[in-house]
Amino acid sequence: MPSRRWSSAERGTRGRRGSLAGRGSPTHPRRIPTHPQRKPDSPAVEAGPAGVGGVGDGAGVRLRVGGVRAGIAAGGVLVTVVLGVWAPGFLRRGLGHGSPEVLLLPTEPYVLIPVIALATAFCLVKRRRAGAVLCAAGTVVPVVLNSWVLKPLFDHHLSGYLAYPSGHTVSLVATLTVLVLLARHQIVAIAAAAAITTAAGIGLVEAGYHYPVDVVGGACFAVAAVLTLSLATTRLARAPSAGSPPADTSSGSPPAASPR
C-alpha cells in the first residue's frame, strides 16, 4: 500500500496535537514530580509556646533557673535560722589556737574590695547592667544585714563579740557567689569557690575566731542573700528602659507580619 505523503501544514498540525496529547492524554499521562515541594521557612516567632520551642525557650529557661535559685535561697535561709536557734554539739567545738595567715587571706577586706571593683568594672565595660548591680548589691547587702540584723537577733557571743553568723564568711562567700553567677564556666567556678570557702572556714576555726557553726551559718546566709538579689537584678535587666522600642522591634515600628 503506498504511503501517504503529508503536506507541511498537515505535519505541523499533527505535531501540535501530539505534544498536547503527551501532556495529559490517557495514552500519555502527565508525570507528577516525586520530590516534595519545599515550603517557605516559618518565622522563628511561630516556633512554639513558652518552654516548648522558639521564643518560649528563653522564658522557660529563665523560669526554671529562677525557680532553682529561689529554692536554694529558701534552703539557705532555713539552715541559717535553724543553726541560729539550735546547733548540733559538734559544730560548737573545735576552736583552735592559731592557723596559717594564708588561710585567712581571702576573707580580708583589702583582698575582697579590689576583686569586687574589678568585677564591677568588667560588667560595665561589657554593658552587663544586671551584673554590675549584682556586684555592688550582692557584696554589700548581705554584710549589712548580717551585721545589723542577724548578729543581734541570734546573739551568739564568743570572746566578747557577736560571732553568729561569721561576718568574714559572709563577705567572702557573698563575693564568691557573685563571681560564680558571672562566670562562663560555672562548674569550675563553683568548685573553686567551695575550695576557697572550706580553706578559709578551717582557718577561721583554727585561729579561734569562730565555731564551725558560725562559718556554716554565714556561708548559707550569704548564698541565700546573693541568689535572692540575683533574681531582682535579672528582672531589672529585662525591664525596658524609658524611650526604648518595644520588644521584637529595632526602631519602635510594629514587627513584620508573618508570611503565612
**pLDDT per position in the chain (260 positions), as tens?**
555 555 555 555 555 555 544 454 555 555 655 555 555 544 443 333 333 333 334 566 767 888 899 999 999 999 999 999 998 888 888 777 777 888 999 999 999 999 999 999 999 999 998 999 999 999 999 999 999 999 999 999 998 899 999 999 999 999 999 999 999 999 999 999 999 999 999 999 999 899 999 999 999 999 999 999 999 887 766 655 444 555 444 444 455 554 44
pLDDT of 52: 34
pLDDT of 66: 84
Q: Is residue 79 part of a domain?
A: no
Extract the C-alpha cell encoding 242: 524609658
Residues 6+ apart with CB under 8 A from 13: none
168: left (phi over 0), alpha (psi -120 to 50) or beta: alpha
Select from 149, 191, 190, 188 the least CA-distant residue to 170: 149
Please give the tally of structural domains in the chain: 1
Give the Cα separation of 183 and 189 in Å (integer).
7
Cis peptide bond prior to 165, omega within 30° of 0:
yes
pLDDT of 236: 67
Residue 242 Cα distances to 13, 245, 246, 254, angstroms: 76, 9, 10, 18
Count Cα neighbours of 150 within 13 Å in the Cβ-side half-sphere: 27
Determine the structural domain holding residue 139 and report its residue range: 94-237
| Spacing of C-alpha 13 from chain mean position | 76
pLDDT of 235: 74
Q: Is residue 138 part of a domain?
A: yes
Are 138 and 190 in contact, with CB atoms under 8 Å apart?
no
Q: Is residue 100 part of a domain?
A: yes
Q: Is residue 215 part of a domain?
A: yes
Q: Is residue 21 part of a domain?
A: no
Q: Is residue 152 part of a domain?
A: yes
Give the Cα separation of 104 and 204 in Å (integer).
7
Q: Is residue 48 part of a domain?
A: no
Select from 22, 42, 186, 176 the least CA-distant residue to 107: 176
Are 214 and 156 in contact, with CB atoms under 8 Å apart?
yes
Q: Is residue 260 part of a domain?
A: no
